[in-house]
Structure 1
Amino acid sequence: MSIGEPFVQLNKASVVYRTETGEGRPVWSDVSLAIHEKEWIAVVGPNGSGKSTLAGVLLGLSPISEGTVARYEGLDNGMKGVLQLPEAQFIGDTVEDELNWIPYAQTLPEEARAAWYREVLAAVGLEISPSRSLLTLSGGQKQLFNLAVALATKPKLLVCDEATAMLDPAARMDVLAAVREAYRQGTTIVWITHRLEEASEATRVIGFGEGRVTYDGDPHLFFYGEGEVSPCEALGFDLPFVVQTVRHLREQGVALTALPLSMDELAEAISCL
């Protein structure tokens, strides 16, 4: 999928939070980056590095202290977010209430709306009653439901901040499959995660360290690097299993023609030897 027009442009943006004593605590310093239509961007970094601040800035929840944030006309109001605290995003009391806030739902007759509810929930692997109270959902179900609501609006830009953090492996696969399909249909993805294996889906990686962008570029170069230490390792991370496997193969004299990031890519690269 080719890159399109810029959606959001940050230029020398800084964020300073005020403490109870009135002192400033810098969170971001001099962050410049652009998010373009049709990208899948994985945002990674240690805890407290500033990666979640990006979600707040993009969604207008965290004001910047210096610099500029430009949102381009082509984005309109088509930006949705899935944040770490799902309850903070609820508007209604029940599943049905929440889905009915979506404008498309309001155009559907009652019978068609019931079928649409099932379709929206099934997209993320949920099987729950539309009359169910949101407060009775588990933490993982709440996160899945927030993603279902966001995807149902068919956003132009979807910002996910640790969207799989509370999910078991099967649910994580459901989430990634749903987001992958949204990307295939043209949604731009900003995927903030501490699970490095999820970055294999991305077309671009942005690494944060101590409130600054330490890497912005190709995912393969982020993990494999060009020298002894890759940008991934420079951020203090252990390399994902797939990348470690390729390194061990190289040490044994087995040179792969590709640089795989996923298990499927690794299997294909080995089969071509």
Structure 2
Amino acid sequence: MKEKTLRGAMSSVAIGLVTLLSGCSNLDLLNPKGSVGVAERDLIATSTWAMLIVVIPVIALTLLFAWRYRASNKSAEYRPNWSHSTGIEIAVWTIPTLIILFLGVLTWKSTHELDPYRPLESAVKPINVEVVALDWKWLFIYPDLGIASVNQLAIPVGTPVNFNITSDSVMNSFFIPQLGGQIYAMAGMQTKLHLIADEAGDYAGESANFSGKGFSDMKFRAIAASPADFNAWVAKVRASSDSLDMNRYNVVSQPGEKAPVTYFSSVDPKLFHNIIARYNNGNVMDLKDDSNCKAKG
């Protein structure tokens, strides 16, 4: 009961913050559409108010002392030899200590609950998506469906999404603000992220790590659709005449700015694995149309 009350209070706080920031043009982070994003927004609000418990009294007391003990106030008590107050000592040590303990417990609890590697609990079977950060575009591979897309991610509403993320270029960061979570994409490595969309919508996705001149246009759209609309999107992708094998990937992965949305009706099932494996032993490997990789000289 207490937890529900706290969540309700934090939601009210978050809504208040959104209202205060209504003049801003981008409120995606404070307007989440998934349970992970909601938890992260409430965490930001809780942490902010906990710290304001110290900040606001300090500012208020600073102004009060400056006014009360101004030179023209002859009624203020003058005690030049004053050196100790037990009440003040208790206040300045106890309150910050309790706040630090509260934030420590909050951090410990939320760190485990919002672990990006932790699968989301749901009765709905999750969908798997492999994400590859390129210069300067995003490649999304659906291994279970055998399709892929560039700069457009579609997911069914209410379905957990298991992201496996890597990079075939410099380090990048995968971020969908309204769904929550942000995690790095690194060449030769694989990171994980678990998200869910609770409402249908067209959400902004972006690169959150500077990666060169095309960084500002390295954006994509995350479309959360009903199961029927998602199946229609899958059918649309499968109608494409383009397929993504090793040789086609070598073309797609070339640096390019403002890349258009592209669909691939079939994908080499080993592509994601080969993208990661090509950086083994510190050598960048050429991806060929067969299973063998040849190291560059």
Which TM-score tier does this pair reach, normalised by the shorter chain?
Answer: under 0.3
TM-score (norm 1): 0.25
Higher relative contact order (CA 8 A, sep 6+): 1
